[in-house]
């Protein structure tokens, strides 16, 4: 059971921050396709970029459940703010803290904890999206170090980032086991942030390309053991799915809240039996789905905090919450009618923003593949012949 007064107190704190500092500028950030720099400074001061960074480095050292609540509450008013925090923590801080050497952690994490430095995560490539092991970016031995070449696309936050972690093929004949990961500073010669994407939603979130052209890296830029890059990134995505689930949940809740207020204040809905069921029914369906999504997101966060296997649940949480976010923002537009459909309406922004959640950090189709692998394994385990009882033990119990 995750309900805990401390978690709810923290939710209130983040909600107050979001209402005071994010909601008033969310529409402007969306229209100008720019993350407000003052908001970014405030978020760094509050520690939103270092929620998962251990306290010993000056970070918040937060558990996954409260982290998910933070992403949910920020996303409830602004998807761009939610994804910026989610990517910085789940895809940036988490892998450095989990797979980095002590030297790498000491080099990177104090800047995250004390100043809110951001780390970008480079996996996707023009020819390697869902098929992440199709990576073409490569790193070859160059004296004592490495020479890195290639490009990454659709990467979140690189314009705000101080550090980059990226996958690259180091052993071309070894498949997924031939992919390693590297850590580099944004000022490393040969590295450049490329074109920024113009997107349907999440306008204030930075989505850009990364280019590596003969980037010379020292030996210790290798991140974890050679050949472990693909696994590290897959494990990172297992956790990242909790935060994108939380983001979709926040956008769903935000849409529901707006639709409810509209139904009560503008349509005079009170819940009577003969009253506008065309509005009552979708509101109830939205609320039920939001609760179900919340259960999945918090369950996967709680399992992660308990160091229990959580990858099946996080894939389910991300997939389901994304679809609930889509449904709720769509229904909210229907309930608000033209007030919802017109540009500048908050539900219209949520509708565009939440669409990313069914695509980014793994499509819903990839999640269905991942979930099917787990449930098929569970079936194999459940139907495997039981080990025969030791003869001695059998004698005793007889």
Give catalytic status of residue 125 as yes or no.
no
Tell me whether residue 29 or residue 83 sits nearer to ligand CAA (CB atom): 83
Q: Which is nearer to ligand CAA, 121 or 160 (CB)?
A: 121
Candidates 9-17, 28-36, 56-64, 152-160 — which segment interacts with ligand CAA by CB under 6 A? Answer: 152-160
Is 147 a binding residue for ligand CAA by CB under 6 A? The answer is no
366 binds ligand CAA (CB under 6 A): yes
Give the nearest distance from C-beta 366 to ligand CAA in angstroms.
5
Residues 84-113 contacting ligand CAA, CB under 6 A: 87, 91
Cβ of residue 361: shortest distance to ligand CAA, in angstroms?
5
**Rounded-to-integer distance, Cα 60 and Cα 73, Å:** 17
Cα separation, 277 vs 275, whole angstroms:
6
Q: CA torsion sign, 376 to 378 to 383 to 389?
A: positive
Helix (H) or strand (E) holding 390: none
Which of 176, 260, 269, 371 lies at the binding interface for ligand CAA (CB under 6 A)? 176
Nearer to ligand CAA, 118 or 296 (CB): 118
Contact (CB, 8 A) for 49 and 62: no
Which one of residues 53, 68, 217, 237 is an interface residue with ligand CAA (CB under 6 A)?
237
| Whole-angstrom distance, CA of residue 209 vs CA of residue 217 | 20
Regarding 223 and contact with ligand CAA (CB under 6 A), the answer is no
How many beta carbons lie within 10 A of that of residue 111, not counting itself? Answer: 18
One of 197, 361, 378, 392 is an active-site residue; which one? 361
Q: Toward ligand CAA, which CB reaches closer, 107 or 231?
A: 231
Asked whether position 155 contacts ligand CAA by CB under 6 A, the answer is yes
Binding positions for ligand CAA, 296-355, rule CB under 6 A? 311
Three-state SS at 118: strand
For residue 379 the two structure tokens come to: 């079936």
Burial of 129 (0-12, 13-18, 19+ CB in 10 A): middle
Separation of alpha carbons 265 and 129, rounded Å: 45
Q: Token pair 């306008």 is at which residue?
A: 203
- Report helix, strand or coil for 232: helix
Using CB under 6 A, list all residues that contact ligand CAA: 87, 91, 121, 123-124, 130-133, 154-156, 176-177, 230-231, 234-235, 237-238, 311, 360-362, 366, 369-370
User: Which residues are designated catalytic?
Assistant: 361
């Amino acid at each position: 059971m995750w309900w805990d007064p401390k978690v709810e107190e923290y939710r209130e704190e983040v909600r107050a921050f979001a209402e005071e500092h994010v909601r008033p500028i969310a529409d402007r950030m969306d229209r100008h396709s720019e993350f407000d720099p003052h908001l970014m400074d405030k978020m760094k001061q509050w520690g939103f970029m270092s929620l998962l960074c251990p306290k010993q480095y000056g970070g918040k050292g937060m558990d996954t459940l409260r982290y998910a609540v933070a992403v949910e509450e920020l996303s409830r008013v602004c998807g761009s703010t939610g994804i910026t925090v989610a990517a910085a923590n789940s895809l940036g801080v988490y892998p450095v803290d989990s797979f980095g050497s002590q030297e790498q952690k000491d080099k990177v994490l104090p800047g995250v904890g004390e100043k809110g430095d951001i780390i970008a995560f480079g996996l996707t490539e023009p020819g390697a999206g869902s098929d992440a092991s199709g990576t073409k970016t490569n790193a070859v031995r160059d004296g004592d170090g490495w020479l890195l070449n290639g490009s990454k696309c659709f990467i979140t936050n690189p314009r705000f980032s101080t550090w980059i972690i990226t996958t690259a093929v180091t052993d071309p004949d070894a498949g997924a086991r031939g992919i390693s990961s590297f850590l580099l500073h944004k000022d490393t010669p040969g590295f450049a942030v490329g074109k920024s994407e113009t997107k349907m939603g999440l306008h204030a979130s930075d989505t850009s390309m990364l280019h590596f052209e003969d980037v010379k890296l020292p030996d210790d830029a290798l991140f974890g053991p050679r050949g472990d890059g693909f696994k590290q990134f897959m494990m990172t995505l297992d956790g990242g799915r909790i935060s994108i689930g939380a983001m979709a949940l926040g956008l769903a809740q935000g849409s529901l809240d707006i639709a409810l207020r509209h139904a009560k204040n503008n349509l005079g809905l009170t819940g009577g039996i003969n009253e506008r069921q065309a509005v009552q029914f979708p509101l109830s369906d939205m609320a039920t789905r939001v609760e179900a999504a919340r259960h999945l997101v918090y369950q996967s966060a709680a399992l992660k905090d308990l160091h229990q296997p959580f990858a099946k649940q996080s894939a389910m949480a991300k997939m389901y919450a994304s679809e609930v976010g889509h449904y709720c923002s769509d229904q909210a537009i229907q309930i608000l009618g033209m007030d919802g459909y017109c540009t500048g309406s908050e539900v219209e922004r949520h509708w565009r923003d939440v669409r990313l959640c069914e695509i980014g950090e793994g499509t819903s189709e990839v999640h269905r593949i991942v979930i099917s692998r787990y449930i098929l394994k569970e079936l194999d385990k459940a139907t495997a012949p039981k080990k025969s009882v030791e003869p001695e033990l059998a004698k005793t119990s007889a």
